Copies of this chain bind each other. A is one copy, B any other.
Amino acid sequence: MDEFMQVAIDEARSGLNSGGIPIGSVLVRDDLIIGKGHNLRVQQDDPMAHAEISCLRDAGRVGSYRDSILYSTLMPCYLCAGAVVQFGIKKVIVGESRTFSGAREFMESHGVEVVDLDLDECVAMMDDFISKEPELWNEDIGK
């Protein structure tokens, strides 16, 4: 397992264990983690606190994102993909996109390299969550 994706998965499980939506994210620069986070919609009543947004908030004002890689356990939605495009993150590595196809094409059309690890562990985590909490999941993706 990619060590950084493992941290993102740990973030997702931490979010699940605190009553939230199991999606985690890590920002890496020069092989070091400079930010991490998980979805906090439930825990903070914050609809903008998708995992990637929480991660980028945690990283803070890092200057250029050009040499950063964003990891997420799930393919980013338009909100998070919008952050990637606006702030010039050039590479995104995701755990899976089978349970949610997200905004891959939008990112790629703006020159972002997107790598999908298609991990069974990430799929199982989301499948289980979505089957147990379909309304919460639909709320989180604006459906």
Contact = CB atoms under 8 A, between A and B. Distances in A.
A49 B81 CA distance: 16
A135 to B, nearest CB: 11
Which among A41, A65, A87 has the highest number of chain B CB atoms within 10 Å?
Answer: A87
A61 B87 contact: no
A94 B60 CA distance: 27
B80 A60 contact: no
A63 B138 CA distance: 10
A46 interface: yes
Interface of A: 41, 45-49, 53, 56-57, 59-63, 65, 77-83, 85-88, 103, 106, 139, 141-142
